[in-house]
Amino acid sequence: MSGGSTILRKLRAALGAHGVFVRGVVSFGEGEGPLLADGTAARSVILLGNIGGSLWEPFSRWRQLPENTGRADPLDDWSKALILPLAAALGASAYFPSDPPWQPFQRWAMQAEGLKASPLGILIHPQYGLWHGYRGALGFANAVDADAATAHAGHPCDHCVEKPCLSACPVDAVTSAGFDVAGCRSHLATAQGRAGCGAGGCLARNACPIGAAYCYPKAQLAFHMAALHL
């Protein structure tokens, strides 16, 4: 659409200082996109998210403010505090992974960046590895063209010979056949699990060599594990 590059520039300017980035743009055919606030279907969705631990310090500062202590879902609340005003200013509809109706964020990411799932089920990025995420998305009534190609060819896991993620899990919850969610959760409920993965992040995820430089800081790893509410 006309002004698409302007929208992307505004988003980058508003969100960059908070460690949130434009992660890609998905375009849809007539009537194929998610519903906008007026009930019509979006023609484009812009994905917004973190790269590595980019959001941790800004989020931590926000979380320490007196009015933000004790929140049940602080990261979701912080994401909405950033993204909802931008949606209103740009005439867009905002979508969040935490809110129904559940939007297909993983499918959108696959379309926008060409990503594929790792054995852990997390989408793996050829540069950032398993250390990235999607905090929200904005839907627009008109098509928004990406200002640069973001899709990546190939699957990093296909080129990983040793596949350390498959041997790092202490209860073999990560296999080439899939991820044993129940087995993982049962382990995390034990003292060993809390002291290991619970304190320092999933050992299988930590073992992945792709994008190791983007690994979340230890405090962020512990935060995400604690958010599982085991």
Domain edges within the chain: 4-154, 157-226
Report whether pLDDT(19) > 80: yes
Most confident of the following: 89-98, 144-153, 219-228: 89-98
Instruction: Give me the chain's average pLDDT, please.
Output: 93
- Two structure tokens written together for 12: 């980058």
Q: Which residues contact 66 (CB under 8 A, 6 or more apart)?
A: none
- Per-residue pLDDT of 123-171, as tens digits, reads 999 999 999 999 999 999 999 988 665 556 679 999 999 999 999 999 9
Report whether pLDDT(1) > 50: no
Q: Which residues contact 155 (CB under 8 A, 6 or more apart)?
A: 116, 124
Contact criterion met (CB below 8 Å) for 130 and 205: yes
Report whether pLDDT(2) > 60: no
- Per-residue pLDDT of 171-193, as tens digits, reads 999 998 889 999 999 999 999 99
Lowest mean pLDDT among 17-26, 103-112, 221-230: 221-230
Q: Which residues contact 7 (CB under 8 A, 6 or more apart)?
A: 46, 90, 140, 144
What is the average per-residue pLDDT within 43-60? 98
